[in-house]
Amino acid sequence: MRKFLSILFPFKGLFLLVFSLALSLNFLFAVFDPLVMKFLIDEGLIKQNFKFFIGLSLSVIAVGTLIRFGFMIQTLLLQRLKNRIIENLTIRMFNSYYEIPNYEVTKKDKGYFMSRIYDEPSKFALSGVETLINLSIYSISLLGALAVALYLSWRLTIYLSILVPILFKISKRFGTKITQKSKQENEKEANLKETLGRLTEAHQTVKIFNLCNIAQLKLIDRLHEFIDILYSRVKSSTFFQTLSSIFLSYGELIVLISAGYWVLIGKLTIGGLMGFMSAFWKVIYNAQNIISEFPLLSKSIGDVERLHEFEALVQRNGEVLNFPEIEIKDLSFSYGKRKVFDDINLKINRGEKVLIQGPNGSGKTTLAYLICGLLKPNKGQVKTLKLDKISASLTPFHFIPETLKENVNFENLKEEKKELFEELTIKFGLNDKLDKDPISFSAGEKKKAEIIMTLLKDADVYIFDEPLANIDVKTKEKIINTILQYTRNKTLIVIKHGDEEYNRFFDKIVKL
């Protein structure tokens, strides 16, 4: 519960305003209605005091109107609170995502992280906050109605109190189970979205190679995992609500019979009976709502624990790399059961120009990821620089959904870098695409944009993965010369196959 409340702490002012308004309005409503009913009947109708009856009725209308306007303001403030929590949590999870080591990120698909970054914070904000406030509202309304019931007939009210310990014990037993199932449900849902993301991304592959049946079976497996745990949580919640409702109905019957008997023996007036029954039904109504909300609160606590677990992934098992040169010792690396490297050694001196060659699947790009510290070796050591001292164009390369100028953070570049950006875009023929999203570029234009972004970063090491891919023959030499020109006196690592005529520009050739 402490973690739950910690998420609300940045908005404590707005939360307390909503909370106080909700409690005040509902307490007033719970107390006001049964007392008004008693006095309308006993002091107005029974005593035939028509003037009092009209005056109290008009007062009821005026107060009721104010209460309903208050509820409207409470609803709007609650939605504002939810919006701010969604924004805050989504940004928190988004920032945490970029602090997670890359080798952890690569274990899951983008759909999984989309669920963790946006869907789960939204679930908490939309249901968790409202559940907490609703529980408080129902509790204060129950207490208000209970206070009125005690005032009108303390003997009848005692019968209600015997249910409280029983309901508390039931809620405690089921609450922990529902919290655990909720966490499992969120994980299964994230896995489902990961699978769905990969399947939708593979649209053309599925169409070309007729893999629809296999894709469908994979989706069904993930759906079943999610639906089964969802059913299990709902089953626990429903059983809890049913059991609690049974005990409430027993108490309800006892109170009804007792109230009728009290009227018959003259210990309760008609107005008192009507007021007590109004308060009694409010107690029952709010008690039933509390029972309904407890499983939701347990689920929300599970949601919160998931958010904290995601933030705990930040730099877990992370290793801070900061060496002056690049040195690989006895490196072994595998993707699952497929071994890529086995006890390789390599040293790249400062300022050296290194070309890495090898057939497809030999591990050229994997080696670049290891040098950047974005992958972790299974065995051996990779001594390398901090990532902020490395600039790299790695495959696959993804642009953020913004213009080319935004992708290079143009407004925050130093003047000399702005001039370099303009110079390179003219040289590569992209000067008319500065305000366009690179996703609309051709494959060759995207590659040129990658190279520009890589060269603009101040770094000690520059890595280019297949810089000549998708580049027309006439432009290839311009690309190589530009890279060499702007990485002079820096360490340069280029991965390529073919185009042997450019090999002479490198100090060392590493063949995998």
- Report the chain's mean pLDDT, rounded to a whole number: 83
In a domain, 207, yes or no: no
Please report which helix (H) or strand (E) contains residue 330, including its range.
Answer: strand 326-335
In a domain, 259, yes or no: yes
In a domain, 385, yes or no: yes
Looking at the structure, do residues 337 and 307 belong to the same domain, yes or no?
A: no
Q: Which 3 state secondary structure label does DSSP give 352?
A: coil
Please report which helix (H) or strand (E) contains residue 353, including its range.
Answer: strand 353-357
In a domain, 293, yes or no: yes
Cα separation, 126 vs 113, in Å, equals 19
469-486 pLDDT, tens per residue? Answer: 999 988 999 999 999 999
- Report the candidate in 185, 181, 201 with the shortest Cα–Cα distance to residue 111: 201
- Which of 311, 342, 362 is the last residue in one of the domains? 311
Looking at the structure, do residues 479 and 354 belong to the same domain, yes or no?
A: yes
Residue type, 240: F
- pLDDT recorded at residue 317: 46
Q: Which 3 state secondary structure label does DSSP give 175?
A: helix
- Report the candidate in 392, 344, 399, 347 with the shortest Cα–Cα distance to residue 372: 392
Residue 42 DSSP symbol: I
Spell out the per-residue pLDDT of the chain, length 512, in tens.
677 778 888 888 998 999 899 888 888 888 877 888 778 777 777 777 878 888 888 888 888 888 889 889 988 998 899 888 888 888 888 888 888 888 888 877 777 888 888 888 887 777 888 888 888 888 888 888 888 877 877 776 776 566 656 665 666 666 677 777 777 888 888 888 888 777 777 676 666 667 778 888 888 888 888 888 888 888 887 877 777 667 666 666 666 677 677 767 777 777 777 777 778 777 777 877 787 777 777 778 888 888 888 888 775 544 556 788 899 999 999 988 888 989 899 999 999 999 999 888 889 999 999 999 888 898 999 999 988 899 999 988 888 888 999 988 999 899 999 999 999 999 999 999 999 999 899 999 999 999 999 999 999 999 999 999 999 988 999 999 999 999 999 999 999 888 888 899 999 999 98
Please report which helix (H) or strand (E) contains residue 460, including its range.
Answer: none
- Which of 273, 288, 311 is the last residue in one of the domains? 311
151-180 pLDDT, tens per residue? Answer: 877 776 776 566 656 665 666 666 677 777
Looking at the structure, do residues 269 and 414 belong to the same domain, yes or no?
A: no
62-89 pLDDT, tens per residue? Answer: 888 888 898 899 889 988 998 888 888 8
- Other beta carbons within 10 angstroms of residue 125's beta carbon come to 22
Looking at the structure, do residues 300 and 436 belong to the same domain, yes or no?
A: no
Looking at the structure, do residues 370 and 505 belong to the same domain, yes or no?
A: yes
Cα separation, 21 vs 362, in Å, equals 66
Length of the chain: 512
| Residue linked to tokens 């970063």 | 457
- pLDDT recorded at residue 171: 62
Its sign, for the CA torsion 481, 483, 485, 488, is negative
Residues 385 and 349: beta-carbon distance below 8 Å: no
In a domain, 316, yes or no: no
237-285 pLDDT, tens per residue? Answer: 787 777 766 766 666 666 667 767 776 777 777 777 777 777 877 777 7
Residues 7 and 121: beta-carbon distance below 8 Å: no
Domain limits at 100? Answer: 2-185+236-311
Q: Which 3 state secondary structure label does DSSP give 507?
A: coil
